[in-house]
């Protein structure tokens, strides 16, 4: 039987471990401590997912690092911790450098502006064997068996096909791509646009306003992606428009909720505390602005989200600035 490792007993990590098991694999779920291992074993998953036990007997829960014994039989590993904890988690996990490793995180490194696969490369993992998983994938829906599709990007399509088989089970359907940069970037950038959409919902705006933010948000995500070498098709796919739609419309999205709380007048710190889980877009907004400045690309919505998070203006002020921008021709990036 194939065996895979999952790094991180997060909502997404536990969900991915359950999917791998449902698809017929053995799984090693690597957690931070013996205490955490005990809690995840006792709950059969995570209590905050609210499902009851979801992990079966083929998911083996162990504290990091991976033992040589376990490492020997692995076909690959998925890393499912938030981007701010990604580097430390990979270092602690002790995954063999030759192992195919896929990032399931949707964020950028705050210090270096790197994508998570670039963090993996910097840690010595083989660029030909690293990849990214993304798409409209709210863990709370997937863990309940609701249908969903994802995209896994690897430089080598053969490797991508192996990952597709490993993860696709029941109502979870995985597509393959070779645009690692685009899939990763789209997954990170859409969180910032979802914060803006949440702010619009929070101000009592309607679906028209949210659809406008999504469409212009997709245009700026694509503009940056193309400037950095991504493929336009990726932004029209599951990792782009697909995930943008799920995140901007679903009340389950933490990024959307963060935007709603900002619109209600909470400080960013209070909003994160109230949500109590990962809000990747709050870190990604300033990092994507840095990437955009270096690439000579304008990101008006992202800039306003970053300004609100930075305490430079309120949500209503930011919305007024967006509405007051010079009238322009509708430019949709293509190449």
Q: Point out the annotated binding site for NAD(+).
A: 139, 254
Considering only residues 3, 4, 6, 8, which one is a binding residue for ligand NDP as defined by CB under 6 A? 8
Does 243 participate in binding ligand 13P (rule CB under 6 A)? yes
Provide CB contacts within 8 A for 103, sequence distance 6+: 78, 79, 86, 115, 116, 117, 119, 120, 130, 131, 132, 133, 184
Active-site residue flag, 16: no
For residue 256, the minimal CB distance to ligand NDP (Å) is 12
Question: Rg of the chain's alpha carbons, rounded to an integer?
Answer: 19
Measured between alpha carbons, how far is 248 from 198 in angstroms, rounded to an integer? 7
Choices 154-162, 275-283, 298-306, 309-317 (CB under 6 A): range interacting with ligand NDP: 275-283
Annotated binding-site members for sn-glycerol 3-phosphate = 106, 135, 190, 243, 253-255
Choices 9-17, 167-175, 294-302, 315-323 (CB under 6 A): range interacting with ligand NDP: 9-17
Does 234 participate in binding ligand 13P (rule CB under 6 A)? no
Taking CB within 5 to 8 Å according to partner kind, which of ligand 13P, ligand NDP, none is near residue 10? ligand NDP
> Rounded to the nearest 5°, which phi and psi values hold at 272?
-65, -45
**Complete edge-to-edge strand list for the sheet that includes strand 26-31:** 59-63, 26-31, 3-7, 74-79, 101-103, 130-134, 148-153, 172-177
Site for ligand 13P in 59-118 (CB under 6 A): 106
Choices 137-145, 158-166, 223-231, 317-325 (CB under 6 A): range interacting with ligand NDP: 137-145
Does 153 participate in binding ligand NDP (rule CB under 6 A)? no
Does 254 participate in binding ligand 13P (rule CB under 6 A)? yes
Does 164 participate in binding ligand 13P (rule CB under 6 A)? no
Q: Which helix (H) or strand (E) holds 63?
A: strand 59-63
> Rounded to the nearest 5°, which phi and psi values hold at 212?
-65, -45
Does 302 participate in binding ligand NDP (rule CB under 6 A)? no
Measured between alpha carbons, how far is 8 from 17 in angstroms, rounded to an integer? 10
Strand partners, 3: 26, 74
């Amino acid at each position: 039987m194939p065996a895979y490792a999952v790094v991180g007993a997060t909502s997404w990590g536990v969900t991915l471990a359950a999917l791998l098991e449902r698809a017929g694999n053995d799984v090693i779920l690597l957690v931070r401590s013996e205490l955490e291992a005990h809690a995840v074993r006792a709950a059969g998953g995570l209590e905050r997912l609210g499902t009851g036990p979801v992990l079966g007997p083929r998911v083996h829960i162990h504290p990091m690092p991976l033992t040589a014994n376990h490492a020997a039989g692995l076909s690959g590993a998925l890393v499912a911790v938030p981007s701010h904890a990604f580097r430390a988690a990979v270092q602690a996990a002790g995954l063999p450098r030759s192992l195919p490793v896929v990032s399931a995180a949707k964020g950028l490194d705050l210090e270096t502006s790197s994508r998570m696969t670039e963090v993996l490369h910097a840690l010595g993992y083989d660029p030909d064997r690293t990849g990214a998983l993304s798409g409209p994938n709210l863990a709370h829906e997937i863990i309940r068996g609701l249908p969903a599709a994802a995209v896994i990007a690897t430089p080598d399509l053969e490797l991508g096909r192996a990952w597709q088989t490993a993860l696709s089970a029941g109502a979870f359907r995985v597509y393959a791509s070779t645009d690692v940069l685009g899939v990763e970037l789209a997954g990170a950038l859409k969180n910032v646009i979802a914060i803006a959409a949440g702010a619009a919902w929070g101000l009592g705006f309607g679906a028209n306003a949210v659809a406008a933010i999504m469409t212009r948000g997709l245009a700026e995500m694509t503009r940056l992606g193309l400037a950095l070498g991504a493929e336009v098709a990726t932004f029209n796919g599951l990792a782009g428009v697909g995930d943008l739609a799920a995140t901007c419309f679903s009340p389950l999205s933490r990024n959307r909720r963060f935007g709603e709380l900002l619109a209600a007048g909470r400080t960013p710190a209070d909003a994160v505390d109230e949500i109590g889980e990962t809000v990747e877009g709050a870190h990604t907004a300033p990092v994507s602005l840095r990437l955009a400045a270096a690439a000579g690309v304008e990101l008006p919505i992202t800039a306003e989200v970053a300004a609100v998070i930075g305490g430079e203006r309120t949500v209503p002020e930011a919305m007024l600035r967006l509405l007051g921008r010079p009238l322009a021709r509708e430019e949709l990036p293509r190449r």
